[in-house]
Amino acid sequence: MNSAKPDDQRGAYFENLYRQDADPWRVRQRWYEERKRALLLASLPQRRYRHAYEPGCGNGELTLELARRCDRVQAADLSAEALRLTRQRLLDAGQDAHVSLARHKLPQDWPRILPGADKFDLIVLSEIAYYLTPEELARVVEHSVASLAPGGSLVLCHWRAPFAQRIVSTVRVHAAFHDAPGLYRVLRHEETDFLLGIWSNDARSVAQREGFA
Ligand SMILES: C[S@@+](CC[C@H](N)C(=O)[O-])C[C@H]1O[C@@H](n2cnc3c(N)ncnc32)[C@H](O)[C@@H]1O
């Protein structure tokens, strides 16, 4: 009988996956993944960000691109092996100096923002939130709202089709953020394969922010 708690099993699942294969979803090879990252990056409402949080960073392919747009990035993952791969990816690209890596399990390890401390002006949840239970997802929504700096961007990107490890559907994940008080959707990109959404606590469009609309 397997006596491991479902939580431990989830952690072990990702750890084993990365130990067997440094790129289990082929994010470094597939045009699908490269194009999806390019769409996400092109959709960001700001050219530059001050401080990003990217939990579930995986092997660091998106982290590297975020590092090029942000003064500081806090990347995190449940898996120690994923963090090792991310560290190596950043080192190889010379983009490690302003990226800190931490082992975070959502929702409990979401960074505490002390009173007066800097909030994140970019939060990216890419292909992670459907692994959470509905209760965990609700906490992540709360943490996201509470730790988003004024005018900051909250980005969600998720594969749409069901798969064995998915707990909450992609439509429900994105709806949970859409329904959160104080968040306004500034972008929705929908394809057969994935949903990309960006929310902010500032309802203005990019043109409105730049002052010509
Ligand atoms: C499908 S990969 C996505 C990687 C990357 N964000 C991307 O879009 O390519 C999901 C990642 O989320 C991590 N993860 C899953 N559940 C997590 C949790 N509760 N807390 C932190 N990381 C988690 C896994 O270890 C894995 O690296």
pLDDT tens series, the chain, 213 aa: 344 566 778 889 999 999 999 999 999 999 999 999 999 999 999 999 999 999 999 999 999 999 999 999 999 999 999 999 999 999 999 998 999 999 999 999 999 998 888 999 999 999 999 999 999 999 999 999 999 999 999 999 999 999 999 999 999 999 999 999 999 999 999 999 999 999 999 999 999 999 999
Identity of residue 101: L
Report the alpha-carbon distance of residue 104 to residue 75 in Å, rounded: 9
* Residue 18 Cβ < 6 Å to ligand 1: no
Contacts of 173 by beta carbon, 8 Å cutoff, 6+ apart: 129, 130, 137, 156, 158
Q: How far is the CA of 212 from the centre of ligand 1 (A)?
A: 38
What global pTM score does this model have?
0.96
**Ligand 1: centre distance to CA 56 (Å):** 3
